[in-house]
C-alpha cells in the first residue's frame, strides 16, 4: 500500500481528546493528596536526614558541615554496635517465633472452630492494645519475687530469673512480650490466606492418599507463601524499629543489653542533642532495612508461589 | 417511575474539593496557637494534680500582680525537656521557662538562654542576695547568671521513726551527721526477711552524694577529664555498691525503670531513705512516723548533692523587659511562699524559707544546712554542658555494678575513656560559646 493511497489516520475528535486530558487531570488531582503526604512526610524527611547526617548540629546553634565525619564516628562507637547487634538479635528471634505461633494458631482456627470470630478477636486483642500499656503489665508479670511468670515457673520447680535486670534474660523477656503482642496480626493475615486456599486441592490430595503433614507441606505452605511473605517483610521492618517496650521495660539496660538502634537514635538526637550523628545512625538503619527487604524480594521468586 | 439519582459532576466534585481544602486551611489557621503579644506566658513541669494546683495559684498571683492575662504552659516532667527543646528550636517558646538546675549549662552552653546579669544589675528593686548562695551558683554558668531560682535543697536522710522504735534503736541525731561506718552498722541492724535498712536509686543522681562526701567527683574542677577512678571516688563507689551487694541492706532491684526509693520507703519496711526535701509532700502520706536527718558523713564530711530549679529567659524571647517583670513575680517572696506553703520544696529565697514548715519536725535542718548553721553541708551538683550524655552513659553502665553483674574495675575501665571524650566535648562547647560571644 503506497503512502499516497494509505488512508490518513482519522484525527481524534477534539472533544474526545479534551475529555481524555480531563480524566488524566482528575486522576492526578485524586492522587495529589497522597503524593503530597508522601513527599512531605516521607521523601522530605529522608532527604533532610541525609543532609543533617553531614552536619554537626545541636539544635540550638547554627549547624556546621562535617561531611562524613558522623559516619566515621559510628565505627568506633561501642554503643552503636551493641544496639545494632541487639536489634538484629531481637528481630531474628522475635519474628520467627511470632510467625510460628501465628501459623499454629491460624491452623487451629482454620479447622472449623466454633465461635471463630470471637476467638480471632480475642487473639487479636494484644495487637490492638497500645505497646506502652502492655509493657507496664509485662513489667509486673516479670517481677522476680511475686511476678506471675516466676510463680508459674515455680510451680514446675524452676527458679525464675530476675528477668528485666539480668543481662542474660532481659532480651528474651522483651522477645517473649513482643511475640505475645504481635502474633495476632500475623495470625489474621495467615488465617485469611488459609481460607483462600481452594478446598478442591485438599480433596484431590486426600484422594491421592496424602497425609496431613504432606497436605500441609505441599499445599498449605506453598499456597500460603504470598501471605507469609507479606507477614515476614512487615514484621522484620517493624522489629527493626523496636523502641517502646525496650524503653519502658528496661530503658535499654542492664548495660546495653537491650538498647535498640531506634532507642539509641532517639537518645543521640533528642537527649544528647546530636542531630547529625543521630541522622547518620538512622540512615544506616534505613540501609539495613532496605538491604534485608531487597534480599527478601529477591528470594521470593523461588519461595513464593502466586499461581492458583 | 424511575427515580433519577443525584449525580456529581467532575466540575462540582473539584469545586467541592477546593472548598473543602479552603475550609480545612481556615480551620487549621483557627486552631493554630496564636501568640497574643499582650499575653504573658511561662512554662513549667507539672506531673500531678497537686503540682498543677500550685502552678495555677502562681499564675493567679502573676495576673493579679501584673494586671495582665498570663498563661502557664504545664507539661508532665517526663516530657518537659523534650517539649522545651522543640519550643526553643521552633520559636514557639514561652517568655519564661522553668529550667532544672542541672540543665542550665546544657541550655546556656548552646546559647538557648539569655544571660541575666545586665537585667539584675539595672534593677535596683531586685534583691539577688536574698536567694540562697547555692541556687545562685546552680543558676549560673561560665561566670554568668542564666536563671533565677525558685527552689533549692540538699539531699537528706529520711528515717522511719516507727520502725526505729519497733526495733528499739535510737533515731539519728537531728543535726550531726553519722559517719559512714555508723550508718552501715545502723542499716544492717534492721535487715531481716522483708525488712531493709536503707534504700536509694542505683543511679548517678543518688550516687553523686556519696562521691562528694568522700571527696570525689565525676570529673576534675576544670571539667577536662574524668576522675571516677581517683581513690576518693573509688572509695565512695565501693561503699555504695557494698550496701547493695555485700551487706546487703537495700531492697532487691526488680527493674531499672520504675525502681523507686520513695515507693520502697513508703512500704514501711525500710528504715532509711536518701532523698530530697521535694519528696516531703509525698512522704506525708506515709502511715508511719518519720523525720529527716543529715546525710551520712564520709571522709570529706556530709556533702550531699545540692539541687535546685530556676526560671530562665530563652534567647528568642522578644519582649525581654516584660519577661524580666514576669520572672521577678514568679520568683518573688509572695510566689515562693505559695510554693513552699504547699510543701513542694524549700524555696530559693531565704525570706520565704519559713513557709516551708513542718512536718516533719526536723524540716528546719534543710535551711540550717543551706545557711551553713550546722556542720553537715552540701555540694553543688557539678554538671557539664553535655551532662545529659554523661548521665545517660552512667545510667547505662552504673546499675550493672549494683546488680553484681560487673566489678567496679570493669565499670571504671569501660566508662573512663568515654567520659574523657565527653569532657573534651564539653571543653569544646564552652570554647565555641565564648567564641560566638566574642569573649
- CB within 8 Å: A144 and B252: yes
- CB within 8 Å: B396 and A253: yes
The kind and range of the H/E element at B283 are helix B280-283
Residue among A22, A59, A255 minimizing CB distance to B396: A255
- From first CA to last CA, the distance across chain A in angstroms is 47
Instruction: Tell me which chain B residues have a C-beta less than 8 angstroms from the C-beta of A60.
Output: 88-89, 107, 110-112
Query: What average pLDDT score do residues A281-288 get?
Result: 95
- Is residue B172 within 8 A of residue B178, CB to CB? The reply is yes
- CB within 8 Å: B436 and A61: yes
Chain B, nearest residue to A257 by Cα: B396
What pLDDT shows up at residue A119?
Answer: 86
Residue among B14, B89, B107 minimizing CB distance to A29: B14
pLDDT band at A223, cuts 50/70/90? very high
* Helices A78-109 & A275-303 angle (0-180, nearest 10): 40
- CB within 8 Å: A249 and B255: yes
A254 upstream amide cis, omega within 30 of 0: yes
What pLDDT shows up at residue A58?
Answer: 87
- CB within 8 Å: A139 and B257: yes
Coil, helix or strand at residue B179:
strand
What pLDDT shows up at residue A1?
Answer: 38
Q: What is the ipTM of this complex?
A: 0.78
Instruction: Tell me which chain A residues have a C-beta less than 8 angstroms from the C-beta of B399.
Output: 165, 253-255
Q: Give burial (CB, 10 Å; 0-12/13-18/19+) of B124.
A: exposed
- CB within 8 Å: A29 and B110: no
Query: What average pLDDT score do residues A140-163 get?
Result: 93
Chain A, nearest residue to B399 by Cα: A254
Domains in chain B (CATH in brackets) are 40-152+307-361 (3.40.190.10), 156-303+379-435 (3.40.190.10)
Q: Give burial (CB, 10 Å; 0-12/13-18/19+) of B230.
A: middle
What pLDDT shows up at residue B38?
Answer: 67
Size of interface A-B (CB pairs under 8 A): 91
Q: Global pTM?
A: 0.82
- CB within 8 Å: A259 and B112: no
Chain B, nearest residue to A249 by Cα: B257
b (16+ CB within 10 A) / e for A26-56: eeeeeeeeeeeeeeeeeeeeeeebeebbbbe
Whether chain B has a CB inside 8 Å of the CB on A253: the answer is: yes
Instruction: Tell me which chain A residues have a C-beta less than 8 angstroms from the C-beta of B392.
Output: 267, 271-272
Query: Which of A48-57, A94-103, A113-122 bottoms out in mean pLDDT, i.e. has the lowest?
Result: A113-122
Chain A nearest CA to B351, separation (Å): 36
The kind and range of the H/E element at B152 are strand B148-154
What pLDDT shows up at residue A120?
Answer: 85
Q: A residues 185-224 near B, CB within 8 Å?
A: none
What pLDDT shows up at residue B118?
Answer: 97
Residues B122, A52: Cα–Cα separation, whole Å: 42
Chain A nearest CA to B421, separation (Å): 12
Whether chain B has a CB inside 8 Å of the CB on A26: the answer is: yes
What pLDDT shows up at residue A9?
Answer: 58
Q: For residue B313, how many other CB atoms are within 10 A of its CB?
A: 25
Percent of chain A, pLDDT > 90? 78
Chain A nearest CA to B276, separation (Å): 24
Which residues are paired to B40 by β-bridges? B70
Q: Which residue has the cell 514484621?
A: A235
Q: For residue A4, how many other CB atoms are within 10 A of its CB?
A: 5
- CB within 8 Å: B400 and A167: yes
Chain A, nearest residue to B194 by Cα: A145
Whether chain B has a CB inside 8 Å of the CB on A160: the answer is: no
Whether chain B has a CB inside 8 Å of the CB on A270: the answer is: yes
Query: What average pLDDT score do residues A198-215 get?
Result: 95
pLDDT band at A7, cuts 50/70/90? low
Residue among A139, A249, A270 minimizing CB distance to B85: A270
Whether chain B has a CB inside 8 Å of the CB on A174: the answer is: no
What pLDDT shows up at residue B237?
Answer: 96
What pLDDT shows up at residue B411?
Answer: 94
- CB within 8 Å: A162 and B252: yes
**A157 phi-psi bin (left φ>0, alpha ψ -120 to 50, beta other):** left
- Is residue B300 within 8 A of residue B211, CB to CB? The reply is no
What pLDDT shows up at residue B23?
Answer: 47
Q: A residues 60-89 near B, CB within 8 Å?
A: 60-61, 79
Residue among A29, A162, A267 minimizing CB distance to B392: A267
CA-based angle A286:A180:A192, to the nearest 5? Answer: 80
Query: Which of A160-174, A293-307, B277-291 bottoms out in mean pLDDT, i.e. has the lowest?
Result: A293-307
Residues B294, B375: Cα–Cα separation, whole Å: 9
What pLDDT shows up at residue B10?
Answer: 44
The list of chain B residues with pLDDT below 50 reads 1-10, 12-14, 16-18, 20-21, 23-34
Q: Measuring CA to CA, which residue among B439, B6, B431, B437 is closest to residue B222?
A: B431
Chain B, nearest residue to A256 by Cα: B396
Amino acid at each position: 500500500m503506497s503512502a499516497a493511497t494509505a488512508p490518513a489516520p482519522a484525527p481524534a475528535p477534539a472533544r474526545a481528546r479534551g475529555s481524555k486530558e480531563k480524566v488524566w487531570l482528575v486522576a492526578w488531582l485524586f492522587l495529589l493528596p497522597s503524593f503530597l503526604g508522601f513527599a512531605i512526610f516521607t521523601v522530605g524527611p529522608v532527604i533532610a536526614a541525609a543532609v543533617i547526617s553531614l552536619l554537626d548540629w545541636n539544635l540550638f546553634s547554627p549547624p556546621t558541615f562535617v561531611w562524613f565525619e558522623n559516619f566515621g564516628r559510628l565505627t568506633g562507637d561501642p554503643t552503636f554496635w551493641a544496639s545494632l547487634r541487639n536489634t538484629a538479635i531481637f528481630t531474628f528471634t522475635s519474628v520467627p517465633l511470632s510467625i510460628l505461633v501465628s501459623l499454629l494458631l491460624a491452623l487451629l482456627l482454620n479447622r472449623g472452630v466454633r465461635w471463630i470470630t470471637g476467638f480471632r478477636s480475642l487473639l487479636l486483642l494484644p495487637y490492638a492494645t497500645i505497646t506502652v500499656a502492655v509493657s507496664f503489665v509485662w513489667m509486673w508479670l516479670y517481677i522476680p519475687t511475686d511476678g506471675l511468670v516466676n510463680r508459674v515457673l515455680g510451680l514446675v520447680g524452676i527458679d525464675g530469673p530476675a528477668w528485666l535486670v539480668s543481662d542474660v534474660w532481659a532480651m528474651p523477656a522483651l522477645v517473649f512480650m513482643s511475640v505475645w503482642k504481635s502474633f495476632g496480626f500475623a495470625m489474621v493475615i495467615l488465617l485469611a490466606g488459609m481460607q483462600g486456599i481452594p478446598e478442591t486441592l485438599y480433596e484431590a490430595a486426600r484422594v491421592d492418599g496424602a497425609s496431613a503433614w504432606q497436605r500441609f507441606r505441599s499445599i498449605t505452605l506453598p499456597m500460603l507463601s504470598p501471605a507469609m511473605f507479606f507477614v515476614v517483610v512487615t514484621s522484620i521492618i517493624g522489629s527493626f524499629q523496636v523502641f517502646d517496650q525496650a524503653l519502658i521495660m528496661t530503658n535499654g539496660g542492664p548495660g546495653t543489653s537491650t538498647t535498640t538502634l531506634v532507642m539509641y537514635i532517639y537518645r543521640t538526637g533528642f537527649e544528647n542533642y546530636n542531630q547529625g550523628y543521630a541522622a547518620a545512625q538512622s540512615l544506616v538503619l534505613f540501609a539495613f532495612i532496605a538491604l534485608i527487604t531487597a534480599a527478601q524480594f529477591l528470594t521470593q521468586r523461588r519461595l513464593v508461589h502466586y499461581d492458583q | 417511575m424511575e427515580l433519577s439519582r443525584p449525580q456529581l459532576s467532575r466540575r462540582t466534585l473539584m469545586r467541592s474539593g477546593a472548598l473543602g481544602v479552603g475550609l480545612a486551611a481556615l480551620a487549621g489557621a483557627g486552631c493554630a496557637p496564636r501568640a497574643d503579644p499582650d499575653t504573658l506566658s511561662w512554662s513549667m513541669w507539672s506531673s500531678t494534680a497537686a503540682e498543677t494546683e500550685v502552678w495555677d495559684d502562681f499564675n493567679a498571683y502573676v495576673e493579679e500582680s501584673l494586671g495582665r492575662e498570663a498563661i502557664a504552659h504545664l507539661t508532665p516532667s517526663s516530657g518537659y525537656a523534650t517539649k522545651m527543646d522543640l519550643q526553643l528550636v521552633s520559636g514557639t517558646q514561652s517568655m519564661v521557662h522553668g529550667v532544672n538546675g542541672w540543665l542550665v549549662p546544657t541550655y546556656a552552653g548552646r546559647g538557648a538562654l539569655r544571660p541575666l546579669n545586665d537585667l539584675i544589675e539595672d534593677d535596683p528593686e531586685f534583691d539577688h542576695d536574698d536567694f540562697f548562695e547555692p541556687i545562685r551558683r546552680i543558676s549560673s554558668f561560665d561566670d554568668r547568671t542564666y536563671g533565677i531560682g525558685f527552689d533549692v535543697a540538699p539531699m537528706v536522710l529520711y528515717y522511719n521513726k516507727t520502725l526505729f522504735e519497733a526495733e528499739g534503736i535510737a533515731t539519728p541525731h537531728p543535726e550531726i551527721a553519722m559517719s559512714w561506718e555508723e550508718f552501715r552498722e545502723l542499716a544492717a541492724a534492721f535487715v531481716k526477711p522483708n525488712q531493709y535498712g536503707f534504700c536509694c536509686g542505683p543511679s548517678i543522681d543518688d550516687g553523686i552524694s556519696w562521691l562528694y562526701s568522700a571527696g570525689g567527683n565525676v570529673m576534675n574542677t576544670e571539667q577536662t577529664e574524668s576522675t571516677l577512678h581517683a581513690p576518693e571516688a573509688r572509695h565512695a563507689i565501693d561503699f555504695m555498691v557494698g550496701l547493695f551487694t555485700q551487706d546487703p541492706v537495700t531492697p532487691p532491684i526488680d527493674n531499672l525503670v520504675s525502681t523507686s526509693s520513695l515507693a520502697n520507703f513508703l512500704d514501711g519496711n525500710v528504715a532509711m531513705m536518701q532523698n530530697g526535701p521535694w519528696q516531703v509532700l509525698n512522704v506525708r502520706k506515709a502511715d508511719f512516723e518519720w523525720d529527716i536527718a543529715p546525710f551520712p558523713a564520709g571522709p570529706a564530711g556530709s556533702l550531699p548533692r545540692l539541687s535546685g530549679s530556676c526560671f530562665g529567659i530563652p534567647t528568642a524571647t522578644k519582649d525581654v523587659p516584660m519577661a524580666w517583670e514576669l520572672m521577678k513575680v514568679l520568683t518573688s517572696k509572695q510566689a515562693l511562699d505559695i510554693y513552699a506553703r504547699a510543701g513542694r520544696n524549700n524555696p530559693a529565697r531565704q525570706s520565704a524559707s519559713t513557709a516551708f514548715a513542718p512536718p516533719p519536725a526536723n524540716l528546719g535542718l534543710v535551711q540550717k544546712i543551706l545557711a551553713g548553721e550546722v556542720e553537715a553541708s552540701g555540694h553543688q551538683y557539678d554538671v557539664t554542658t553535655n551532662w545529659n550524655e554523661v548521665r545517660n552513659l552512667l545510667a547505662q553502665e552504673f546499675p550493672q555494678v549494683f546488680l553484681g553483674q560487673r566489678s567496679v574495675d570493669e565499670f571504671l575501665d569501660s566508662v573512663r575513656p568515654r567520659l574523657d571524650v565527653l569532657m573534651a566535648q564539653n571543653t569544646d562547647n564552652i570554647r565555641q560559646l565564648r567564641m560566638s560571644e566574642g569573649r
